[in-house]
Structure 1
Amino acid sequence: MLLPDAVQANDEFVVNTNLTDLRLPAPDLLTLKPVVNPLFAPDTSTLTPSSGSGPFAAGVMTAKGRVTGFDSRAYGTFGIPYTTTRVQDGEQSAAGTTTANYLSTTYPYRAIGKLTFSAGYCTASLIRRSVLVTAAHCIQTFGSGSNLFTNFQYYPGHYGASGATNAQIAPYGIWTWAGLVRPSSWANGTDTGSGSARNNDLAVIAVAKNSANQFIGDITGYLNYSWNNYSFVSSAKTGNLNTAAVTTLGYPQLSDGGAILQRSDGPTYTTVVSGASQLWQGSDFTGGASGGPWVVNFRSREAALTGGAVVGTAPVISVVGVTSWGSADPNAPKDNYASQFGQNTQYPNASYGTYGSGNIASLLNTLCTSAAPGGGTYASQGYCN
């Protein structure tokens, strides 16, 4: 198909006629200047996203050949693109290698781990020196009052593929809990929403010190947290949708049997489902990923900027929500949702102690001002640093 008034291109092949160039002395790579496009940049102040995919059929070339059209398993019928990958280095199996779990033991991945308890397992992440955040439904069934699950244990940096060693399964040891806080509206079944979509499907857990009297965060490091949709933006360039680039992590059962940490990246949007403030994204995460962090500005290290470059606004890596629910179908529609961290009907205040705004701040304030083992509060003992 040709577009009106289109001029077809004539490609040109250029041959290197002086193969001695290959034997020139290697340049000093540190002194080479970067090349930039010399053409002027057009005005993008009124740019808006395209509303369609265009007039041509999409396709992709793989090692097995050309693939055309759309496959519902690629991003489901939900219509939001994403990518998912194992957080793994080295061989596919842990057997015979010590490097397969290397990546999951680097920061910030090692601040995320598997949370086991009497009903099964979820995912959790460390957001203070010794405080985890996870989903409230990983603590107790909605509306079950004082009936909590039991025997909470946390495996930071967990890698449990077939043949994994004990050092890979629990590279930083197995940690138990000292106390937790979940929303009372979750416990008594009055939280705003319907079904699995709720305002406040989140909870925080104080992790007890280990036998060497160490805090877990001093070993693994920990993530930041934020509220009221930090780092999200709405503009003409996003089609006036409130969106952010979000990395979601967890141990979904349908990917590697939940044995290996998975990472999903893509655009995330704010929305309201049955009155509940939600984050939503395309994702193939399923059960086991519950409680896993939704992270903005996910990265391992800061680049050293030169030439007057700045990182821009809202650049801090932080958790903005945790996986709450999504499609149980492994092929469609491939969607995931999280309760928004921030102010809502149950948590309207802009300030809860020194911990920020809304639900996440209130839970932390309640936990950190509670009595801790050995006297004082969790805050005064250093758990909440």
Structure 2
Amino acid sequence: MKSFTTANLYLYRLLHTIQVLLTTEAVDMKHILLITAWMPLSALAADLDTVYFYQTPTPELASTHSSQAYTNPLPAPDTSNLEPDGTPKNTQAGASTEAASRAYGRYSVPFTAKRVSAAVTSAVSSDSNAYLSASFPYSAIGKLTFQVGGISAHCSASVILKSVIVTAAHCMQDYGAGADRFDSHVFRPASYEGSSPYGEWTPLAAVWPNTWTKGTEVGSGSAVDNDLAVMILAKNASGQFISDLVGGHLNYGWNNYSFINSKRTGNIWTAAVTTLGYPGLLDEGAIMQRSDGPSYLTTIADAHQIYQGSTFTGGSSGGPWVVNFGYENPSFSDGSGVGHKAKANVVIGVTSWGSADPNQPKDNYSSQFTQNKRYPKADYGGFGAGNIAALLNTACSKKPRGSTQTFKQLGYCDQ
């Protein structure tokens, strides 16, 4: 009989126990976490991220609207000598639903241009202050609430596939926390002063980098390579996906889609980026906020980062950084056009951290959605390149409890 190493024995016992549990009716996320808690991390394959499955939260938690803005607890690194990146890139940028890269013109200066209009919605009255945030593409962004030690907290998140949202890893668990994770996540798209015009959506599964779980990320303090997570949402009681109700979903990009480096930008990588979320120090986190401006690429202790000026604070964590944000393009004539890398509403990062003092210097940072040391491949299952694609591929390749088909086969991950 073949002998087992210690790691193999742990792995065998883990898989056997999970197999037994999954044949019972009353298995939930807590059971799985209890099993993995005693298993040495060295026994896990280094290239595997764990998908966590959820039970439906209790009605009391699902109906809770009052929450504290959650802030990345890791210390902010020193950015006093931070410089933007001007190094040429050797990776191909891309975006979901776009076969070839095609917002800037030959002048090589980034911009965002959309028709001044809003999608029509019946979710709220047209004379309500909440109308704009309930219209697409704003409606694909919302507040993500969860429990931290019995206290209700919130981050921000956005819909990027049929029934998939993206947020920050630090909204799932503290850095290096192992088996200790936050629970009772509920997503409320277009939340406005406590209202949820499109209902409350609970997760079926979530995945984030195991390097975050183990505390082995590349970087320093809060500046790390992979502060991101994806979550697959359950259908509502009517059997609808979330994007069916909110008017669609945003797209996502990788390898810094829409960034441009030219002599007119000072030979540094920059893009026109719209950032959205629910920062706790602005309207007490009750109303979605929007920030627009140039964003730049940089590295901090080898961690790939994007930075911008912003008033955003805790609670905006996990909110999308979007290029080419807007409802629709105008009708073009006489040779006019959209420019290059002009795919609409492409999420290229999520809010991760800012300086410890929220009043100055008013900065905001995101992990780049890109190929890096942890996620080096140019393609992960057809979802694109780098960290964002790898997490989507991992989550969408799993089967919901009781199903013989994967989330992707069931349509949850449609683009």
Matched ranges for 1:1-385 at <5 A: 99-119=128-148, 120-160=153-193, 169-220=195-246, 221-317=248-344, 318-375=346-403, 376-385=405-414
Aligned residues: 288
Match of 1:62 in 2: none
What's the Cα RMSD here? 1.9
Equivalent-residue separation in structure 2 for 1:206 and 1:223 (angstroms): 15
Give the C-alpha shift of residue 146 in structure 1.
2.1
What do residues 207-238 of structure 1 show as CA deviations (whole Å, max 9, x unaligned)?
01111111001111110000000000000000
Equivalent-residue separation in structure 2 for 1:146 and 1:362 (angstroms): 22
Give the TM-score of the pair, scaled to structure 2.
0.67
Equivalent-residue separation in structure 1 for 2:382 and 2:179 (angstroms): 28
What do residues 225-253 of structure 1 show as CA deviations (whole Å, max 9, x unaligned)?
00000000000000001000000001001
Secondary structure of 2:392's partner? helix
Secondary structure of 1:324's partner? strand
Secondary structure of 1:118's partner? strand
* Amino acid of the structure 2 residue aligned with 1:319: V
Q: Which has the higher contact order (CA 8 A, sep 6+)?
A: 2
Give the C-alpha shift of residue 201 in structure 1.
0.0
Q: Flag as ranges the 4+ runs of structure 1 deviating above 4 A.
A: none
Does structure 1 conserve the Cα–Cα contact (< 8 Å) formed by 2:163 and 2:234?
Answer: yes
Equivalent-residue separation in structure 2 for 1:308 and 1:285 (angstroms): 39
Does structure 1 conserve the Cα–Cα contact (< 8 Å) formed by 2:83 and 2:298?
Answer: no
Secondary structure of 2:254's partner? coil
Equivalent-residue separation in structure 1 for 2:412 and 2:227 (angstroms): 23
Counting aligned pairs with the same residue, the percent is: 55
1:143–1:235: structure 2 CA closer, same or farther, 3 Å change rule? same
* Amino acid of the structure 2 residue aligned with 1:324: S
Does structure 2 conserve the Cα–Cα contact (< 8 Å) formed by 1:79 and 1:282?
Answer: no
Secondary structure of 2:170's partner? helix
Give the C-alpha shift of residue 374 in structure 1.
4.8
Give 1 or 2: higher helix fraction.
Answer: 2
Which ranges in structure 2 are unaligned for 5 or more consecutive residues?
Answer: 1-81, 85-117, 119-124
1:97–1:341: structure 2 CA closer, same or farther, 3 Å change rule? closer
Which ranges in structure 1 are unaligned for 5 or more consecutive residues?
Answer: 1-77, 81-88, 90-95
Does structure 2 conserve the Cα–Cα contact (< 8 Å) formed by 1:372 and 1:381?
Answer: no
* Amino acid of the structure 2 residue aligned with 1:217: S
Does structure 2 conserve the Cα–Cα contact (< 8 Å) formed by 1:242 and 1:270?
Answer: yes
Equivalent-residue separation in structure 1 for 2:336 and 2:205 (angstroms): 44
Does structure 2 conserve the Cα–Cα contact (< 8 Å) formed by 1:322 and 1:339?
Answer: yes
* Amino acid of the structure 2 residue aligned with 1:274: A
Give the TM-score of the pair, scaled to structure 1.
0.73
